[in-house]
Structures are given as C-alpha cells and as structure tokens.
Chain A
Amino acid sequence: MPLRRAAGLGLLTSLLVATGHSAAIPTDPFRLVVEPEIVFIRGIGNTHTVLFTAVGPDGVRLDVSAGTRVAIDDPDVAGTVGPAVFEGYRHGFTKVTATYGRHQVSFPLIVQPKRSRLTDFTTDVAPIFSRHGCNGTNCHGALNGQNGFKLSLFGYDVDADYEAIVRHSGGRRISLNAPEESLLLRKPTLEVAHGGGRLFETGGSEYKTLLDWIRDGAGKDTAGTARLRRMEVYPRETTVLADVGTRQQVVVVGQFSDGSKEGLTRKVRYSTPDDAILDVSPSGVVTAKAVGEGTVLVRTLGHVAALRVAVARPVTDGALQPAPANLVDELVFEKLSKLNLDASGPATDGEFIRRASLDTIGVVPTAEETKEFLANTDADKRARLIDRLLERPEYAEFWAAKWGDLFANSVLTSSDGTAYLQEWLRSAFRANTPYGEFVKEVLTATGSTWEVGAVNFFSRPIEDITTLVAQAFLGVSIECARCHDHPSAKWKREDFLSMTAFFSQLAAKGRRPPPVESIRYIEFDKEFRHPETKQVVRPRFLDGSEPLIRPLQDRREVLAKWITAGDNPWFARATVNRIWNQFMGRPLVDPVDDFRPSNPPSNRRLLERLAKDFVASGYDLHHLMRTILSSRTYQLSSVPRATSRDDETNFSRYYLKRLTAEQLADSIVLITGVPQDYLGYYPGVRAVNLADPGIPSPFLDMFDRPKRDAAKCERSESVSLRQSMHMLVGDTVNAKVRASAESGSLARLLERGMTDSEIIEHLYLASLSRHPDAEELDYCQTALGRADGRSEGLQNILWALLNTNEFLYNH
C-alpha cells in the first residue's frame, strides 16, 4: 500500500500546477472598483453606503472601504458620515473621487427629493420592523404573535401589519394626539418595558421616521407611491475573504417600480444561517469567524436576497490542483484555489471502476471486469469504460429506479400502474431520450394506466401533480403555497393555484376493476376553481407570465413547452443539479429541490456553465453524465488532504457515499452468487427493479429504501444499531455467505481447485475491486487458520469483506 501511494503521488505531481494566491491583499496591480456605480440618495438627511473593492488580476477581492479616502466635488450636496457612507445635504448632483493608495475611481452622486411629502407606510415604516427582526419567528412574527401584537412573518403581508399596528388592541399603539406618547415609539426605545429590548434610540433616524409618520396621521399609503421591486446586493459574485477576521461591507440597492433606485444598506435586515463561519452586523458588515463558506440573507418586506461568502484557509504557499480536464475542473479548481484548498490525488483504477459502476449502473463491477480493467494499458481506458457503462442494461434500470423515487412511484401514492411507469422510465433511459422530450412525453401523456406507462405520473390528486412538477422538473418547492403565501420565498398561493390550472383538463375513468385500470383523457372545457372563492383560475407560469391557450388545446402541452424551453430559468439548472448530486454526492444547490433566491448555489458559475452546456447538447443526459464522469474532479481520490478535510461543499475530494439499499442488496447477490427472492416477483429479480416500495424487505428498509410517500430524490444514509444487529445475526448476509459456499460463487471457486490465496484474491476483486496487499493476505490467512474448516474460514473472509466500510461506502 505505501508503494501504491507513492506511485499515485508521482502521477499527481506531473499534473500539478500552482494556481493559488498567497496573500490577503490582492497583488498589485489591482483595480479599485466602486459598487454601485451611481449613487442615488432619496431625500435630504438620508444615507447611502457604497463599496470600494480592490480586485486583483486573479479575481481576488478585498473590501478596502475603510481605508479609502473620498473627495466630494460639491460639499454642499453631500458629505460623508462614516467610511464609504454618504449623507444627502441638498438636492443636486456631484462627482465623488475615491483614492486608495495610488488608485482612483470617480462616480456620480445624486441627491433626489423624497418620493412623497408624507412618510409612506409600505416604503418607509414597514421595513423598520423587518430590519429589527420584530416580525421574526421568535417575536411578533410568531404564529400567535407576542404579547397580543402579531405581525406577518418577515413582513410578507403589509396590509395585515398596518391593521395590527394602527387598529388592533383598540388602536392603543398609536397616539395621534401625542405622537411621542405612542407605544410604537415607547416600546422599542425602552421608555416602557419591552420584551424585545431596546431596538433604537429616541431621536435616531428610525425614531424620526416613525414619529413623522404618526404626525402625518399614520395613514396607509400615498397613492401612486413607487414600490420596491427587487434588491441588488453587492458584491455580486461569491466573495472570498482571505482570513478569519477579514471584513466585507454588503451594499444593498433597491429598484423601485418607477425605475428609480435607492440605497437600502441601512434599512434592511441581515442574517446568516451559518453563524459559526460568518458574523453580520446590523449595518451589513460581514466578518469571517472561521474557515468555510456560508450564506448571508438580506431581507426587507417580504423580499429576500442572498450572497455567498467563503472564508479561505490562510496559507503562504498557494493551493495545488491538477490541470483541468474539462469545464467542470476549470470551475471547481478555480474555487479551490481561491479558498486555498488542495485537491486530493487521483483515484486509482480500482477505485474508479468501482465508483463509476456504482454511480452509473448501480452495482459493483465483477471480479473479471475489474481484473481486465486493471490490466488494460490503454491511455483512454477510463473514457471507454464510461461509454460502456452508459450502454449497459443496468444503466436504464438504475436510473429508472431513481426517477421512480423522484416521481414517488408507489401503489400507495399513485396506482397499480406502478410497474408500467417503471418500465416506461427504463425504456426512456435505455434510449437516452433527450430529457426535454422525456419530460414532454410525461407531461402530455394520455391513455390507459396499463398501456401508457407515463400516464401513471398523473395518478394522484391535482395539487400533488403541481407540487411534483415544480419539484421534479423545476427544482422549486412550492408546496407551502398550496395553502398560503410562502412567508420566506416569493411564492404566493396564487402562483400555486395558477400552475395547478394547467392540469384542470385531466379526466379519468375506470375500466376493469379490480385491480383498477384507469383511462386518463383530456376534457377541454374542464376548469380548475379556486378552493374558496370558486372562481375559475387561469393557468399561469411560475415566472408570472400568462400563456396564450387556444381552444381545444391540451394546456399541459403549453406548460411542457415552457418548462423544456432552453431559456426556462429552472429546468436545465435543476436537472444538472440533480444529476451532479447523484455522481458527486452533494448538490450545487442544497437541498437539491430547493432553488430560491435565498438559497444560492455553492458554485454558481459551474451550475450556469453545465446548464448551458446541457441545453446546447439538446438535453443529452449521456453527454452531461460523461462530462461529469470524465472530469478530474469526479476522478479525485476520496482520501482527504490535510488542508481540505473539512471541505464538504467544494469537491476537493470524492465524498464518501453509503451504498443505497438496492446497490447493497444487488451487489451482495452478485458477489455471493446467491439470488434474493422478493414477494410477487420472478426469481432472480434485482432489487433495483422492484417497482413498488411496499414489496416487503426489512433489509432494504433498514438501509433507507424510501417509502415514496413524497417526491424525494435524496435518500438518507443512516448507520444504525439495527443494521449492525442484522449483519451480525440476521438472515441476509449470513444466509448468502453460507449459501455461497454451498451453491454460489464460493462453491464454484472451490470446485475450480483454486488455492486459498487465489480465492482471497478473487473475493477482494469481487467486493472491493482491488488486489489485497501482503498484510491483508496475512490477516485473511490467520482468519482461515482460526476457523473450523476451510469452507467456514472462507465464509468468514467473505462476510468480513462485505462488512468493511470499504465495501459499504462508495469511495
């Protein structure tokens, strides 16, 4: 083993190129960049933060806002109130010049009048509650509010919040006669007791806004006032902070419905779910706490935006990566370099054939296949293996089963057309049907559940179809919006219902009971009605656009066309993310079916490039899989480097994956040569071909076979006491090992008159896809010596191999 590793390192060294950066500050010459490029201040006395960044030629960024000097051409228009924070003095225009070291950048600054003479509830007042977290889950945004005062969660319902503040509790929160006496001011300033503590100072800018609003009469909104449409958050790309303690200012600019812009940096709320890695202050300063990567969320009034921030491992010598083999490697290694993480060495041939086989066809390679592959000296043998695997019959079976999970294909949730849907999926994967067509065929299927396999996709309640389509094909979770507006994503209940309207024409009739065959057909004038108002709901896409639908047209065709169009914002990305996850063990957007603005990808450019490439290939799944499989990234060893042990998001090594229930069951059958029977199935069926999760098998269940009671394609990888008990004394592996010696593969090896070490060699190749080393052979010989007879000894060795972590994990 030491020898083997030395050889591996030799190969690696020839591929290594130093790509890392070395110091915290970007190497000069760098550019000084200001974001945003034009500064709009709304109203005298308002402030706007900008961001000064030094960007080196290698793309490394450093926030230099604190050390940048600014000169304002017309000091009557604006001045500074902090590093890179400007305050408007009078309406007008001026040029600002910023200097950092010998670098300079100039930009325009414009002070504009406020939108309205009066303080506006939606634009000016309501954001204050979001900013201070008053409407969070553990304060007044809780289900039942807090101490009788309830705000909508994260402020998604401004109308309700207005009512709560102005009218509820007899209007006692607002005093129009003595505005300063209003509870709304006295509570957050702690003039009276407040469980939430002091949120702002009496006389501060937020205090003044609230006071002005109450003085103006505490009105709702001024007609025609522009509304916030979206937030721009700077910096835009994943920011890499060079070291623990490094800071980064976040700048937020709002775009309003009248086209105007306004700085919101001090008006929004910042938070991070990754608070072990990042800290973010109320004014938007992110500080690195530990090496790693996290998300910073920016919220105001039901709007949410996010940025990714990574904290690099500080080094002086730069990180080492192999030379990129394709676009995957370019983008993965680029990020590793920025973070100063070393990629692991290359996987051995044995590791590669085992890994690629398990990931592509769902079963370990046979001893013979492995032996031949190890002996093969062709330079392109890995590429050829990939091509062969994609054409194997097990490929279609394996991926059909994955899509069976995704479509929640089970007798309980769909129908007894389960097996027909499974067979349809197998044929689609076998033919490598372009994925756009694949999805179109599913979405527009009609006919008998026993004849048209794909039609079983629709054997579920109409709202479940909506949830499934959004999740499976678009990677978005809109299930919450089935019942109510989504509080933290942009989905409204209306979005859910409008999407459901695409399936309104579906009709069904039964034919031969029982078991029930059903015929799905289209009734063109059938409408979907709002569950409460009973109004007809018009179909509308999730991006908000409304399609033109001709009379006598199947609405699902229109939906399918929109989903599979090359410019659909989700379809290609979601598919790429799903396939990537299957091979790499971690999705780029995590969880895999949860695309939303507040959940950014770990490597945005990689996701974009792969998606673009997937569209350009005509949605060729083989092409996408080949791109991933032939990357150096996929072919990295799973042995971590010291620098990247903690890396769980950037693919610096191949992440261990516990074999799935079916991979495990089918591999054990293959290795022992003892088939497993499953109730109601032909003898010798492989577990991957069971169409329904209800087919009894405690073994498959304890290794996390999903129930398929909801669309899910991520499985848990549990390790449990139950599994250990079963392995020790249960009747799966014990029985198979015994039967193997009686009539299975072990019996055949014994019949061929092979020596002990030849048999051990074979068992190693069959289970771990490699040769044993001398030490391991020794241990096996010792075990043979201890056992009660040769057969028992070999059974013990086979049992032991099947119980190693090396077997249980794809590595």
Chain B
Amino acid sequence: MRGRGYYGATPASIWGRREFLRVGTLGPLGLSLGDYLKLGASQERPAADRSCIMIVLDGGAPQHETFDMKPEAPSDVAGSFQPIPTNVSGIQICEHLPLTAQQADKYAILRSVYGDTAIHFTGVYYLMTGFMPLQSVDFPSRGSVVAKELGARNGLPPYVLNATLDHAAGPGFLGSGYSPFWVRGDPSSPGFTIEDLEVPVDMDWSQISDRRWLVKQLDAKFRERDTRGLFADRERFFQEAEDIIRSPTVKSAFDIGSEPEPLRNQYGRTPIGQGCLLARRLVESGVRFVTVNAARAIWDTHSDNFNRCKDVLLPEFDAAFATLMEDLHQRGILESTLVVVSGEFGRTPKVNPNAGRDHWPSVFSVVLAGAGVQGGQAYGSSDAAGGEPKDNPVSMEDLSATIYDRLGIDPDKEYYTASNRPVRLANRGTPVRAPLV
C-alpha cells in the first residue's frame, strides 16, 4: 500500500518518448517498466475524468444564516436575517448571499446532513476523511484517495491543499506518496507565490543535475539498509520535483496573477475569493482535488454571529462561490467538476446570550454542484427549528459516498491498512442519487 506515489502515476505522454524509455532504467529504484505500463493503463478509467473543489467553511457555518433559513421559527431560533428568493422558484436562502441566490440553478442544497461530533478537530477530520478519528487507523483524506484513484493529469500534482487543515488533509495509511501539494501562502496577498517553484538566479539545471548525480553515487551502498521502500519514494520525489519545477504547465496553473483584474475582483480579494479562483485554474489545468478554506475556524461564531456573518463571512463567501459557479459554468467545466461546500458541523438552533451560535452536528447544510449533480433543488430537510434531519437524512458517510460516486470512484472499494485491516472508502455510506443526480 505504501509508497506508490501519485506522481509516479504520471502518464508517459507528458514526458515524451525519450523520458519514457528512461523509465526502463529506473527498475531497481522501485518501478519496473511493467509497473509503469500498468499505472499508465489505470489512467484510462472511463468515468474518471473528473475533479473536485472542496470549500471548507472552517469552524462550522450556521445553517440558519446560510442555506436553511427558518423564518417561521421563534426569533431566538430564526435569528435576525431574512430569506430571499433565488433564481429557482421555491428555494430561498439568506439575504446576505444575493449573488449565490442568482446561481441556485447550478447547485443542490442538502439540508439534512448530520455528523457525530461537536469538536472542531474531530469534525474536520470526519469531514475530510469520512471517518471519525481512531487511535488504531490513520485514515487518508479524500484528496489523497482521489489522488490514488484518479492519478495525475497533465503533469500536475493531483491533490492541492490551500487550507489550514493539516491534521485532516494528509495521506494517512496510504503513505506520503499521496500527500497533498501544500500551497501555504494566502493567494489574496500581493506577494503570493508558490514556494520552491523557481530555480535560484545563481543556479542552473546542469548544476542541479550534477548534484543529483553525485547524491546517487554516494548513496549507493547505503541502500541495503532500507527495508520499507523509503529511499525509492524519495528518489522518485526528486525526479517529480524536477519535472514540476521545469514544467511551464505547472507554473501557469498556479499563476493567478495572469487572470484578468475584473475577474479577480469579482471573486473578491480575500483568501476565500482568490483561493476559489486558484482552485478553478488548477482543476482547469488538470489537478484532481483542491481543498480551500478562508482561515482556521473563521466560521466559529460563538459570539456576535450576526455581525460577523453580515459584515465579513457571508459577503466574502458569496462573491467567491457565486463567481466560481458562473466561471466554471462559462468554461464548460462544471459538468466535470464537483464543488462541495461544507463546514465540519452546523450551529445551534438557539441563539446564545452572546448573540452567537454554538457547535451543532445534528443537522447542517451542504452544497453540491457539478459532476452530474442536478442544480436548482433542495434535497432533504431539517425540522422546524433546524435542529434535526426531517426528510432524507444524509450521514457524513453518505456524503462521503456521494462525493466518491460523483467522481467515478466506487465508494465500497476496500483498501487495506498495513495490518491488513479492510477499510471501505466511504465507510459503508450510501451515495445519494435520484433526484440529486
């Protein structure tokens, strides 16, 4: 299970024939030519040419102030915001999401999702992996699974993380070969660059090649000490690193500076706005899975929920998400791109004395769009207070299965951990199909 890097699955076509033949000589380092051909073949999975943008409303967005308004409820439940109509009759969302309201024909709202934990740390892990944390098994995040299942496209890393969710975004027992490519910077800051993507001015490729050649020679005798394939992983990562740094495609994929100013402004010059723009560029270029959040626990509104939602959280999200919908649609890639919007849980139906809402996993709303999801609908519902699921409850496992299903991955596929314990990708969740898709 360990060690077969996603990037190692790069199709031969992007390297060209000369490079491809060279693979044959890599045999002792872990991958035989036969392995390579097999990896190449797995790229051709028919339904798999899909991508996913996961927008995490980190901290837990309030369902009552976003996609599941309860205007009929008592005021200490309903809160102070009003619903507005959307471009789909019968569906209303929060008044502070006016742009998102005009895109409602493109997405579905799941109003009956429920989790099992009211702790951020655990909740984010549950959302990102589809599993509650266990002492005994380190579960892979969904991005890592997608990287493994769908592989790389166009020489780009399949899984990019532009979010502060490190504890829940890793490869787990799949091993570091499926780690996310981590974009640490804030894409809305003026000096935003991707670290380590440029050769320093005083160096050139021939010097780098000389250095790598020498490492290989000096390490030859030490190789016998590796019983777990670690060195082969590392050797391959050096090669992949070089390929990435040399690749104009990769540089261009990350270059949000080349987007037209008006579009950048339309997304919003905020971490979530520019993060969504970066995500669109990346999936358009070939990245399989991009995770974006605004900032750690920014939606955790235990106090002053309404002012924070109205002044910052909702407007920033509104511009980012609505523009992303329109942008993906206009470029014709919404059909191949699943967009997921979710917090790790919802917030309490009752407003607390600090005008805040506290953690509430029993029901919350998730938005899905693209990849076959039929827009313009609300699936499932919550009770009158927005406190429990009423119709068509969707568990976190079901949500997980639905995401895999939309990406062309069998949610019931089993992986095995190092100790041979079977793990079903979606932990026995059932994908939501009709009328959602």
Given contacts A1-B221, A656-B225, A731-B200, contact A804 B238 (CB under 8 A): no
Q: Please, which residues of chain B bring their CB within 8 A of the CB of A192? A: none
Distance of B269 from chain A, by nearest CB (Å): 23
Contact assessment for A720 and B176 in the assembled complex, using a CB-CB cutoff below 8 Å: yes
Contacts of B166 in A (CB 8 A): 707
Choose one: B181, B196, B219; the contact of A806 (CB below 8 Å).
B219
A645 to B238, CA, bound (A): 26
Say whether A734 faces chain B, with CB atoms less than 8 Å apart: yes
Does A143 sit at the interface, judged by CB under 8 A? yes
* B240 A639 Cβ-Cβ under 8 A: no
| Beyond A726-B195, A727-B241, 11 additional pairs, beta carbon < 8 A | A276-B420, A477-B135, A591-B135, A707-B166, A722-B196, A724-B238, A728-B242, A730-B195, A796-B207, A809-B225, A811-B225
* Identity of the chain A residue whose Cβ is nearest the Cβ of B132 in the assembled complex: A143
State how many angstroms separate the Cβ of B127 from the closest Cβ of chain A.
16
Which residues on the A side are within 8 Å of B234 (C-beta)? 719, 724, 805, 808
Residue of B5, B197, B211, B221 near A725 (CB, 8 A) is B197
Among residues 137 to 163 in chain A, which have CB atoms less than 8 Å away from a CB atom of chain B?
138, 142-144
Within 8 A of B (CB), among A785-811: 786-788, 792, 796-797, 799-801, 803-806, 808-809, 811
Q: Are A728 and B245 closer than 8 Å at their CB atoms? A: yes
Identify 28 residue pairs between A and B in the complex whose beta-carbon atoms are under 8 Å apart, listed by A's number.
Answer: A276-B420, A646-B227, A656-B225, A656-B230, A709-B167, A718-B176, A719-B237, A721-B5, A723-B237, A724-B240, A725-B244, A727-B241, A728-B196, A734-B200, A776-B217, A783-B213, A787-B207, A788-B207, A792-B207, A796-B211, A796-B214, A800-B215, A800-B218, A801-B218, A803-B211, A804-B222, A805-B231, A808-B234
Check B136 for interface membership: any CB of A closer than 8 A.
yes
Q: Are A786 and B210 in contact (CB under 8 A)?
A: yes
Set of chain A residues within 8 Å of B80, measured between Cβ atoms: none
Q: With A638-B225, A721-B241, A723-B237 given, is the CB distance from A729 to B196 under 8 Å?
A: yes
Mark out the residues of chain B between 403 and 421 whose CB falls within 8 Å of any chain A CB in the assembled complex: 419-421
Interface residues of A in 601-647 (CB under 8 A from B): 638-640, 645-646
- Tell me the A752-810 residues at the B interface (CB within 8 Å): 776, 779-780, 783, 786-788, 792, 796-797, 799-801, 803-806, 808-809
**Minimum distance in angstroms from A720 CB to a CB of chain B:** 5
Also in contact, A273 and B181, with CB within 8 A (given A143-B116, A725-B197, A734-B200): no
- Known interface pairs A779-B218, A783-B210. Does A726 touch B230 (Cβ–Cβ under 8 Å)? no
B196 is contacted by which of A726, A783, A792, A809 (Cβ under 8 Å)?
A726
Is A299 at the interface (CB under 8 A from chain B)?
Answer: no
The answer to whether A57 has its CB under 8 Å from any CB of chain B is no
CB interface residues, B 197-234, toward A, < 8 Å: 197-200, 202-203, 207-208, 210-211, 213-215, 217-219, 221-227, 230-231, 233-234
Any A CB within 8 A of the CB of B182: yes
CB-based contact A738/B135 at 8 Å: no
B200 contacts which chain A residues (CB < 8 A)? 729, 731, 734
**A811 neighbours in B (Cβ, 8 Å):** 222, 225
Tell me the count of chain B residues lying within 8 A, CB to CB, of chain A.
Answer: 55
- Tell whether B428 is near chain A: CB-to-CB under 8 Å: yes
Considering residues B182, B198, B225, B226, which has the most beta carbons from chain A within 10 angstroms of its beta carbon?
Answer: B225
Q: Is the CB of B218 within 8 A of A719?
A: no
| A697 to B370 CA separation, bound complex (whole angstroms) | 38
Say yes or no for B345: interface residue by CB 8 A criterion: no
**Contact call A796/B210, Cβ cutoff below 8 A:** yes
B20 touches A (CB below 8 Å): no
Interface size class of A (residues with CB under 8 A): 35 or more
CA distance A710 to B214 in the complex (A): 41
Check if A721 sits within 8 Å of B199, measured CB to CB. no
Q: Say whether A698 faces chain B, with CB atoms less than 8 Å apart.
A: yes
In angstroms, Cα B116 to Cα A143, docked, is 9
Against B, the Cβ 8 Å flags (1 = close, 0 = not) of A260-299 are 0000000000000111100000000000000000000000
B81 within 8 A of A: no
In the assembled complex, the CB of A768 is this many whole angstroms from the nearest CB of chain B, namely: 9
B233: chain A residues within 8 A (beta carbon): 719
Bound Cα distance A70, B418 (Å): 43
Write out the residue numbers on chain A whose beta carbons fall within 8 Å of the beta carbon of B181.
721-722
> Does B195 contact A724, Cβ atoms closer than 8 Å?
no
Interface positions, chain B 106-138, Cβ under 8 Å from A, are 116, 121, 135-136
Give A640's nearest chain B residue, CB to CB: B227
B147 to chain A, nearest CB (A): 11
Q: Is A594 in contact with chain B by the CB < 8 A criterion?
A: yes
Residues of chain B with a CB closer than 8 A to A726's CB: 195-196
Q: Which residue of B lies closest to A799 (CB)?
A: B211
Min C-beta distance of B286 to chain A, whole Å:
16
- Which residues in chain A, 96-151, are within 8 Å of chain B measured between CB atoms? 138, 142-144
A698-B184, A719-B234, A805-B231 given; A734·B5 CB < 8 A? no
Flag A722-754 by CB within 8 Å of B: 1 or 0 each.
111111111100100010000000000000000
Does B143 reach chain A (CB closer than 8 Å)? no
Q: Which parts of A211-228 form the interface with B (CB within 8 Å)?
A: none
User: How far is A138 from B421 in the complex, measured between Cα atoms in Å?
Assistant: 13
Are A721 and B7 in touch, CB under 8 angstroms?
Answer: yes
Contacts of A591 in B (CB 8 A): 135
Q: What's the least CB distance linking B251 to chain A, in Å?
A: 12
Nearest CB of A to B291, in Å: 15
**Closest Cβ–Cβ distance, residue B62 to chain A (whole Å):** 23
A residues within 8 A CB of B176? Answer: 718-720
CA distance A804 to B222 in the complex (A): 9
Residues of B within 8 A of A796 (CB): 207, 210-211, 214
B window 356-370: CB within 8 A of A: none
The contact string, 1 if C-beta is below 8 Å from chain A, for chain B 144-169, is 00000000000001000000001100
If the complex has contacts A724-B241, A776-B218, are A719 and B230 also in contact, measured as CB distance less than 8 A? yes
Q: Is the CB of A721 within 8 A of B240?
A: yes
Q: Which residue of chain B is the closest to A802 with respect to CB atoms?
A: B215
Asked whether any CB of chain A lies closer than 8 Å to the CB of B382, the reply is no
List A contacts of B136 (CB < 8 A).
273
Cβ contact within 8 Å between A805 and B214: no
**Per-residue interface assignment for chain B, residues 171 to 202, with 1 indicating a CB less than 8 Å from any chain A CB and 0 otherwise:** 00000100101101000000000011111101
Cβ of B243 to closest chain A Cβ, rounded Å: 10
Q: Which residue of B lies closest to A800 (CB)?
A: B214
Which residues of chain A have C-beta atoms less than 8 A from B179's C-beta?
Answer: 718, 720-722
Contacts of B5 in A (CB 8 A): 721
- With beta carbons under 8 angstroms apart, the residue of B202, B214, B244 that contacts A797 is B214
Q: Are A594 and B196 in contact (CB under 8 A)?
A: no
Q: Which chain A residue shows the least CB distance to B138?
A: A716
How distant is the Cα of A734 from the Cα of B207 in the complex, in angstroms?
12
Q: Which residues of B contact A721 (CB under 8 A)?
A: 5, 7, 157, 179, 181, 237, 240-241, 244
How far, in angstroms, from A276 to B199 measured CA to CA in the complex? 47
**A801 CA to B136 CA, complexed, in Å:** 37
Docked complex Cα distance between A797 and B213 (Å) = 11
A591 to chain B, nearest CB (A): 7
Shortest CB-to-CB span from B58 to chain A, Å, is: 14
B226 to chain A, nearest CB (A): 7
Distance in Å: Cβ of B254 to nearest Cβ of chain A: 13
- Inter-subunit contact B219/A729 (CB<8 Å): no
- Complex: how many Å from CA A276 to CA B417? 11
Contacts of A783 in B (CB 8 A): 210, 213-214
* A637: nearest chain-B partner, CB-CB: B225
Inter-chain CA distance A799–B200, complex, in Å, is 15
Distance to closest chain A CB from B186 (angstroms): 13
A786 CA to B208 CA in the complex, in Å? 12
A639 to B227, CA, bound (A): 9
Quick one: which of B208, B215, B421 contacts A273, CB cutoff 8 A? B421
- Contact between chains at B227 and A800 (CB < 8 Å): no
**A724 with B210: in contact, given A276-B419, A730-B195 (CB under 8 Å)?**
no
- Per-residue B-contact encoding for A643-677, CB less than 8 Å = 1, 0 else: 00110100000001010000000000000000000
The chain A residue with its CB closest to the CB of B242 is: A728
Which residues of chain B are near A720, meaning CB under 8 Å? 176, 179, 237
